[in-house]
Amino acid sequence: MTDLLDRRLLFVTGKGGVGKSTVTAALALLAAEQGKRVLLVEVDAKGNLPNLFEHPPVGFDPVAVAPGVFAMQLTTEASLREYLKLNLRIPMVGRIGPIAGIFDFVANAAPGVKEILTVGKVCWEVRESIEGRAPWDLVVVDAAATGHVIAQLDAPRTIRDLVQTGPIRNQTEWMMAILSDPAITALNVVTAPEEMPVNETIELVARARAETDVPLGAVVVNRVLPEPFTVADEPVFAAMADGPALDRLRQEAGPAVDTVLDAAALAVALRRARVPHLDALRAGVDLPLLYVPYLFVRDHGLRATRMVADALGAELGL
Ligand SMILES: Nc1ncnc2c1ncn2[C@@H]1O[C@H](COP(=O)(O)OP(=O)(O)O)[C@@H](O)[C@H]1O
Ligand SMILES: [Mg+2]
């Protein structure tokens, strides 16, 4: 797994709310700290990626949000505008005015059109950088959530099957070559040690294998509760909670002793409740699992992003 960051294109998906954006931002930061120039692509228009670097919102043009990390917000309309400019060489495409009308027509014309405008732009940045025309060593995508990501990744094939000949079909061929190359691309899934995220992850991994040629990377298990106490500590707590010992502790330290013991019991119980979900994940998915601890921080800004990046770096052996 140490080679995960040596690919050129990492997609990150996951059930909404599990920490997909946090992990995406952290992967970008980690790669930049390893000396890579990273393009971080946000696909969700309501996204919060720049917040995770304590940076104001960004647009379609990449903006540096941390040393080595350039973020952009990918909207399908901006992507179509760029595509028309580059490929059709329509003079002064900026002046054809509101593109929204055309866009709605094109985007609703067939399944996969909206998606290919997203994945096409991403693949284009990768191809440009491989061929030395764009500066990125790595493109990291905060992709669609689990329910929609397959359609997103499979859009080139959908379009190819729809369009039999001509330039559009040729466009799909190189995209599919990038998306299916395990030396270039990996789809990663963020999950949490809870029932629904684990089920969705197992299902998604199976669907990605069955329905796409996109290689799978790692599963990031986010919000894993720390293990402050191990089985070996339990007799110690048992002895502390025992009558005479507890009385002595209360005399020395006051009622806070009970709070501490309650907190310890709660930590152990919470962690235990998550064990079956982690077991189900390990049994249901044969991909490397990278664990990220639950962060007890108030603000999820740059400091939290860096903490997640450090955890991922440790898991990757960096
Ligand atoms: N490791 C973590 N520990 C604690 N809270 C986390 C962790 N990762 C993410 N969060 C919090 O969970 C919420 C959802 O995270 P976010 O990355 O926006 O998820 P998604 O992109 O999947 O919707 C945010 O409030 C975020 O701060
Ligand atoms: Mg998000």
Q: From first to last of the 318 residues of the chain, give the pLDDT tens digit.
A: 668 999 999 999 999 999 999 999 999 999 999 999 999 999 966 778 999 999 999 999 999 999 999 999 998 888 887 877 777 666 555 555 565 666 677 777 777 888 888 999 999 999 999 999 999 999 999 999 999 999 999 999 998 888 888 777 888 999 999 999 999 999 999 999 999 999 999 999 999 999 999 999 999 999 998 777 777 777 887 787 777 888 888 888 888 888 888 888 888 888 888 889 999 999 999 999 999 999 999 888 999 999 999 999 999 999
Work out the burial of residue 291: count CB atoms within 10 Å of its CB; fewer than 13 is exposed, 13-18 middle, 19 or more buried: middle
Alpha helices in the chain (DSSP H): 20-33, 76-83, 100-109, 113-130, 146-153, 155-162, 167-180, 195-211, 234-240, 243-253, 256-284, 302-315
Question: What's the 18 CA to ligand 1 centre distance in angstroms?
Answer: 6
The pLDDT, as a whole number, for residue 281 is: 97
- 273 contacts: CB under 8 Å, gap ≥ 6: none
Residue with tokens 């450090």: 310
pLDDT attached to residue 27: 98
* Contact (CB, 8 A) for 54 and 305: no
Place of tokens 């190359």: 181
d(CA 146, CA 13): 6
Tell the residue number behind the tokens 């294109």, with chain if given. Answer: 9
**CA proximity to 152, closest of 140, 162, 144, 160:** 144
DSSP label at residue 53: G
| Cβ < 6 A, ligand 1 pocket | 14, 16-22, 48, 222-223, 292, 294-295, 300, 308
Shortest-distance ligand to the CA of residue 25? 1
The residues facing 64 across adjacent strands are 70
Task: Among the bound ligands, name the one nearest to the CA of residue 15.
Answer: 1
223: number of Cβ within 10 Å: 19
Q: Is 250 helix (H, G, I), strand (E, B) or coil?
A: helix
Residue nearest to atom 5 of ligand 1 (CA): 295
| 15 burial level (CB within 10 Å; 0-12, 13-18, 19+) | buried
Ligand 1 probe mutation, 13, 18, 22, most atoms within 8 A of CB: 22
Distance between Cα 245 and ligand 2 center (Å):
49
Residue ranges and CATH numbers for the domains of the chain are 4-226+284-315 (3.40.50.300)
Structure confidence at residue 23 (pLDDT)? 98
Ligand closest to 222 (CA) is: 1
Query: How far is 297 from 269, CA to CA, in rounded Å?
Result: 21
Q: Which residues of 67-94 are buried (b: 16+ CB within 10 A; e: fewer)?
A: ebbbbbbbbbbbbbbbbbeeeeeeeebe
pLDDT for 166 equals 79
Asked if residues 267 and 227 have their Cβ atoms less than 8 Å apart, the reply is no
For a substitution probing ligand 1, which of 13, 29, 300 has the most ligand atoms within 8 Å of its CB? 300
Separation CA 303–CA 54 (nearest Å): 9
- DSSP assignment, residue 225? P
